[in-house]
Structure 1
Amino acid sequence: MNGAEIGAIAHLYRGEVYRSTMWRTRLDNTTNWAVVTLGVALSISYASPDASPLPLVLVGILIILFLMLEARRYRYFNVWRARARWMEVNFYVPLLRDGDLRLEENWQRTLAGDYEFPAYHVSSLAAIGRRIRRNYLWILLIQTLAYVGKLVVHPFPVRTAEELLLRADIGPIPGALVLLIGAVYLASWVWIALWSMRSDAARTRIRSPGSSMG
């Protein structure tokens, strides 16, 4: 590999780092939107003892929307990050440590294939699970605790389970059903987070060093 080719690799690496940085910023934006909307819902529901807890339920729809959008962005980010990391491990590390480009390992073919036939490196479900583990689990827990706290405390401390269920009523929908849906809602996201964690761990164990970039 001559100097011109090494320079081209350097420019390619810089471009991938730039793209991964830009998409990382977009991930932060969607997380910020979720936090802000949850904060607005908290402010409305806790504005007075007689305020409705319904905004804390409805904000869950927006949180799901932001989570899906962030998972999609994460799949793009993961492509640029994986390419940059691949060049770091196979090009820059050997060059800096041993002065060896390791051209015999054909790592360039893997990188070239990824450019020729671009594809996501993680599934949508895995991306959702990773974003839940990084940020959204805490957002969902705060939403749940705030909602339950609102039912328990306002307009005065709850005294019986029947009273708690009555406070959870949403129009014709009984409180027991509302709480059940909420429990399934939270448990589903927790399950996806745990599944993705186990899936990532299994993928790391079985993956050979030159098998993939993601």
Structure 2
Amino acid sequence: MEQQNRERKTLTDGEIGAIAHLYRSEAYRSTIWRTRLDTTTNWAVVTLGVALSITFSSPEASPLPLILVGILIIFFLLLEARRYRYFSVFRARARWLEQHFYAPMLEDGDLHMEENWQKVLADDYTKPRYHVGYWTSVGRRIRRNYLWILLIQTLAYAGKLIVHPTPVTSFQQAMTRADVGPLPGEAVIAIGVIYILSWSGIALWSEWSSAKRAKARGSRTAMG
């Protein structure tokens, strides 16, 4: 049997039909999980919009909602990163079939079974696993969407301190407006800077990590 598997260079018509249906199912599942990713992004955008409306509803309104909404945004980001790990599995399988099944078939009619791409796919079904780590997923979602959401949140908060209730006239006045209960404005601003730099750092690290993994594994030996 092992000798037959090594010598096998083609697929039967029935097997080709089964793989075509398999591709359809993987494309469908990746589409469904992509929709779930968009849902959490929409939640983050809506909650930020509500915080902006409350904060800028009047000059006397507190900038605190723009700080608190950051907690919700990060919650949605972490939830979306978990969903992205599932999405990446189905997307990688569909892309693998496109690259090694459909593209060779359309180009020269040869499925190049000798490259053992089918064994890589079979192994992924036999031993399913995530293709990316959790923090890599977090970084990818920050780069794709959440960096812009966090940027808008930061600029809106700074704008609120500068213009409401009257245009700021000194740095100390801005720090006073940033006070939150017993926390002085300087501490609040410092926490905000750490908040932005931390998530930006994760985004940059995930980009570097993904590039390193892609270079190390090559394009024809693994999915993800």
- Match of 2:161, SS state, is helix
| 1:82 maps onto 2:98 in alignment | no
- Give 1:162 deviation, angstroms: 1.2
Q: Which residue of 1 aligns with 2:152?
A: 142
Q: Which residue of 2 aligns with 1:122?
A: 132
- Give 1:209 deviation, angstroms: 2.5
Match of 1:12 among 19, 22, 30: 22
- Give 1:203 deviation, angstroms: 2.0
Q: Which residue of 2 aligns with 1:178?
A: 188
What amino acid sits opposite 2:70 in the alignment?
A: G
- Give 1:207 deviation, angstroms: 2.2
Q: Which residue of 2 aligns with 1:201?
A: 211
- Give 1:204 deviation, angstroms: 2.3
| 1:66 maps onto 2:47 in alignment | no
Q: Which residue of 2 aligns with 1:151?
A: 161
Q: How many residues align?
A: 214
Any unmatched runs of 5+ in structure 2?
A: 1-10
- Give 1:53 deviation, angstroms: 0.3
What amino acid sits opposite 2:15 in the alignment?
A: E
Q: Is this contact kept in 1: 2:117–2:221, CA < 8 A?
A: no
Match of 1:94 among 95, 104, 107: 104
- Give 1:160 deviation, angstroms: 1.2
- Give 1:101 deviation, angstroms: 1.1
Q: Counterparts in 2 of 1:153-172, with a 5 A limit?
A: 153-172=163-182
In 2: Cα distance, 1:201 partner to 1:82 partner: 16
What amino acid sits opposite 1:118 in the alignment?
A: P
**Can you list the C-alpha shifts for 1:58-85, whole angstroms capped at 9, x where unaligned?**
0000000000011011100000000000
- Give 1:44 deviation, angstroms: 0.1
TM-score, structure 1 as length reference: 0.98
Root-mean-square deviation (CA, aligned residues, Å) is 0.8
TM-score, structure 2 as length reference: 0.94
Match of 1:109 among 119, 136, 161: 119
What amino acid sits opposite 1:85 in the alignment?
A: R
